[in-house]
Homo-oligomer: A and B are copies of this chain.
């Protein structure tokens, strides 16, 4: 039986069948290949019910039978796997210096991955989305939804309240996109980039089994996506994870927000760049140059990265003390700089965490790279399928 740690639920649901379809779909996603008997044994649903639910999921092309069978006493069992090939979930990240678009199918297989310099306007972003939609149409994919990742405070209604590094205030980016796309026929949502990075790591990364995880964006801004007990925790108004403006060094430089010594000011990617305000397209090139100099053993570069690593470690130690995550994942531009940042980060975290062995907190680099937030956008669309909003094949 699938159990959870939440309050007990009454046992006769208004919509038993929809709930059970989602339960079976989730089971197949997590345990494929598996047989109908496996599903019955693990969910507590009876075999006739499972057969009927599986037939429905096969009709919707969410699940398919494989040629494989399982050897059992009696009849061999046909094995099931996730299908979902007719469907696509789209994620889009808008950041200061780039736009990333990804599309995945229901099984998380990558259908498309694009990265472009940020064109500066929602209308131009809509043009990118239109091209993604056209590509998916050509491949006969039904689009389940689109989530836009933004580096800023996104409220419960999906409105971007403040995105300081984009200069956005009270921007309904999902509404604006829907309008520019003239009612595209699929839902559009917006969410914080760090939240979506955490969702992506939890669904597609190697730490999916971990229940307490924090994802840190390593961009010009720094944000945290907080997963505790297996779920993203957004806080009262949806503004959790704003680690970028916690003061790390009262003697430090002024942050773009006006405060002094914020994590973002001392350990954001801007702190390792030559130019205080690099032009957007230059960031990636500048990071490559820093990596080249570090590889060559340039003393000034190594000292700079060591200092940034220490300050970043002070931020991660706050997470380790306060949230006791099993894993903190460094994303974005931190990934190419990892070999030089990680030792200093780890030393600070061990030193500054009151729990023995930093409470078991590991600091690792994202394996999803620059696509993490966009992938998280797609993950959020797939999550809504998992929680019972099943598509009908059109």
Q: Are A237 and B321 in contact (CB under 8 A)?
A: no
Of the 9-residue stretches A38-46, A62-70, A71-79, which lies at the interface with chain B? A38-46
Question: How far is A244 from B10 in the complex, measured between Cα atoms in Å?
Answer: 41
Q: Are A242 and B6 in contact (CB under 8 A)?
A: no
Q: Are B233 and A228 in contact (CB under 8 A)?
A: yes
Count of chain A residues with a beta carbon within 8 Å of a chain B beta carbon: 77
Q: Are A359 and B239 in contact (CB under 8 A)?
A: yes
A100 within 8 A of B: no
Interface of chain A, main secondary structure: loop
Q: Which residues of B contact A9 (CB under 8 A)?
A: 2-4, 9, 19, 23
Chain A positions 245 through 270: 1 when the CB is less than 8 Å from some CB of chain B, otherwise 0 = 11101110000010100000000000
Closest to A243 in B: B322
Chain A positions 1 through 41: 1 when the CB is less than 8 Å from some CB of chain B, otherwise 0 = 11111111111111010011011001000000000000000
Q: Which residues of B contact A231 (CB under 8 A)?
A: 5-6, 229
26 contacts between A and B (CB under 8 A): A1-B13, A2-B9, A3-B9, A6-B6, A8-B23, A8-B26, A10-B44, A11-B45, A14-B44, A161-B355, A162-B354, A224-B322, A228-B228, A234-B324, A235-B359, A236-B361, A237-B355, A237-B359, A237-B360, A239-B324, A239-B359, A245-B353, A257-B354, A318-B318, A318-B322, A322-B322
Q: Are A235 and B212 in contact (CB under 8 A)?
A: yes
Measured CB to CB, the closest approach of chain B to A172, in angstroms, equals: 16
Q: How many copies does the complex hold?
A: 2
Residue numbers of A with Cβ under 8 A of B are: 1-14, 16, 19-20, 22-23, 26, 43-46, 153, 161-162, 164, 210-212, 224, 226, 228-229, 231, 233-247, 249-251, 257, 259, 314, 317-319, 321-326, 352-356, 359-361, 386-388
Question: How far is A237 from B362 in the complex, measured between Cα atoms in Å?
Answer: 13
Q: Which residues of B contact A13 (CB under 8 A)?
A: 1, 11, 44
Measured CB to CB, the closest approach of chain B to A364, in angstroms, equals: 14
Q: Which residues of B contact A359 (CB under 8 A)?
A: 235-237, 239
- Given known pairs A242-B354, A250-B249, A259-B352, the reply for A323 and B235 (CB within 8 Å) is yes
Question: How far is A353 from B22 in the complex, measured between Cα atoms in Å?
Answer: 39
Question: How far is A68 from B7 in the complex, measured between Cα atoms in Å?
Answer: 29
Closest to A245 in B: B354
Q: Which residues of B contact A45 (CB under 8 A)?
A: 10-12
Q: Are A14 and B26 in contact (CB under 8 A)?
A: no
Question: How far is A247 from B5 in the complex, measured between Cα atoms in Å?
Answer: 33
The 8 Å CB contact of A241, one of B322, B360, B386, is: B322
Q: Which residues of B contact A237 (CB under 8 A)?
A: 324, 355, 359-360
Question: How far is A142 from B146 in the complex, measured between Cα atoms in Å?
Answer: 56
- Given known pairs A229-B233, A247-B314, the reply for A10 and B20 (CB within 8 Å) is yes
Q: Which residues of B contact A388 (CB under 8 A)?
A: 8
Question: How far is A210 from B238 in the complex, measured between Cα atoms in Å?
Answer: 14
Question: How far is A18 from B218 in the complex, measured between Cα atoms in Å?
Answer: 48
Excluding A11-B11, A11-B12, A243-B322, 15 further A-B contacts by CB distance (< 8 Å) are: A1-B10, A1-B14, A7-B23, A9-B9, A11-B45, A153-B355, A162-B355, A228-B228, A237-B324, A239-B355, A242-B354, A243-B321, A246-B317, A246-B322, A250-B250
